[in-house]
Amino acid sequence: MINTIFGLLGLYILIHSNKKTWTITGFLIGIFWFWWIALSFRDYGFAWAIPIGVVIIALIYALIFWLLAYISQLLSKKIDIPQPFINIIMIFAISYIHPFGFDWLKLEIIFVDSYIGVTPLDFILVLISLSLIKYNRYYILISLFAINPNLSIVSFQDKNIDLITTNISIKDKWNIDLMDKNIEDTFKIIQNSIDNNFSIIILPESIIPKFINKNEYIKDRLKEYSNHISIVIGGLYLDDNGTPRNSTYIFSKDNIEIANKVVLVPFGEANPLPKFLSDIVNKIFYDGAIDYKASKNVYDYTIDNIKYRNAICFEATSERLYENSPKYMIAISNLNWFTPSIQPTLQKLLLKYYHRKYGTIIYHSINGSRSYIVW
């Protein structure tokens, strides 16, 4: 109820506000919704740049909101329609504006845990209703069509799947002196799952920070375990051209499948800037490392006659991964780049949003936050 009231109130204020309020709103959303993005500077030796990064993010969203309000104001005067009616179009459009390919600003997620639905139709009905408050006393009749409560409070535990949570810091993960120990600890986790009679184990993104396809020892160990349990595990992949990929490896009954990431993290894995600028950024922040390469198509794999959609961290929150409405998804993440922060909560809200929109049941294994199932 609290989420419903505050969500409606926030949208009502924005619909009936001017350009100045929109600009301030964008600036504050940039700070309070996305400040955590700049935390990744810590692990590249640029912790001093975190405040600068936060301000830049805030300014980008302030500019987006100012531009939308400016267009709304201009159209309202030109076609002689009250501005609140134009504003609802601009608010609806916000969810489809992705600066540098980053698409985590979806205003609909304020209704994920509420009495309001989260589909585009639900959202537009709510916006229309709120815009009519000053003009039509029957506005409430329209909003009734958007009521779609998500009231399930029952937890769900799949007794066949061992959903692993780890908490290895970024520093320790890439520490050469600790790498072998961390890999052996991963093998112990798999053995423990076998001892507890699980049929599938899911481990987080890049839990093995090596090119598994080039490491015969790791491959052989995982193949051996896969005779007793199906393993879904994050690791790196190096193609024949020497280009790295962020991948999921699926070991099942001595069979290996490799699912490469489809949607890469802007700047973190692939630089969205023009090449000459991209090369400069990569040299300054990433020691000249080349960008990862994305796979062209989403990837489904089957374990025990059940088909799962593969998703790695950021891409699990991308609309593209839900094409054809997959029934099940296995997502793996490494969130220690951004913890402690609100990032794991925001990601969970987005996964719940896509679950409510497409009906996909999501198994999410995480390094740096508690793993969970969205169902």
Cα 338 from chain centroid?
12
Compute how many other C-beta atoms are within 10 angstroms of the C-beta atom of residue 151. Answer: 6
Sequence-separated (6 or more) residues with CB below 8 Å from residue 135:
82
**Nearest Cα residue to 235 out of 248, 254, 221:** 248
Helix (H, G, I), strand (E, B) or coil at 329: strand
Residues catalogued as catalytic: 205, 261, 313
